[in-house]
Amino acid sequence: MQINEFQEMMRHLYFHRDSERGVKGTYDWLVEEVEELREALEEENKEATEREFADVIAWLASLANITGINLEKAALEKYNYKCPKCHQSPCQCKF
Ligand SMILES: [Zn+2]
């Protein structure tokens, strides 16, 4: 499955609900899921971490759907097989 297909699946599943919730409410859910990911990482709980990664990408796709953003297009335009800052692969930017 590619990013486009995942985003379309999320649109099919949740677009009606995401649209009613709106951008602010959906963004807040995404932030909540990112926080839960942090907690799972801190607990070093692999299963919970996996679930939270799934939630984060799901809510990111939902937010993209209701704001009319194509995630795959946006990601590949910025990260097209090279670092957007140094234009190298792998990245050669200094920390
Ligand atoms: Zn770089």
Q: What is the mean pLDDT of residues 52-56?
A: 98
CB 52 within 8 A of CB 37: yes
Q: How far is residue 32 CA from its own chain's centroid? A: 13
- pTM across the whole model: 0.92
Tell me the per-residue pLDDT of 11-39, one tens digit each, with 9 for 90 and over: 999 999 999 999 999 999 999 999 999 99
Q: What is the token pair recorded at 59?
A: 């809510």
Tell me the per-residue pLDDT of 57-93, one tens digit each, with 9 for 90 and over: 999 999 999 999 999 999 999 999 999 999 999 999 9
Q: How far is the CA of 33 from the centre of ligand 1 (A)?
A: 28
Q: How far is the CA of 66 from the centre of ligand 1 (A)?
A: 31
Query: In whole angstroms, what is the distance from residue 58 CA to residue 30 CA?
Result: 9
Q: How far is the CA of 55 from the centre of ligand 1 (A)?
A: 28
Q: How far is the CA of 11 from the centre of ligand 1 (A)?
A: 33
Which residue has 């990112």 as its token pair?
A: 34
Give, as residue ranges, everything with CB less than 5 Å from ion ligand 1. Answer: 83, 85-86, 91, 93
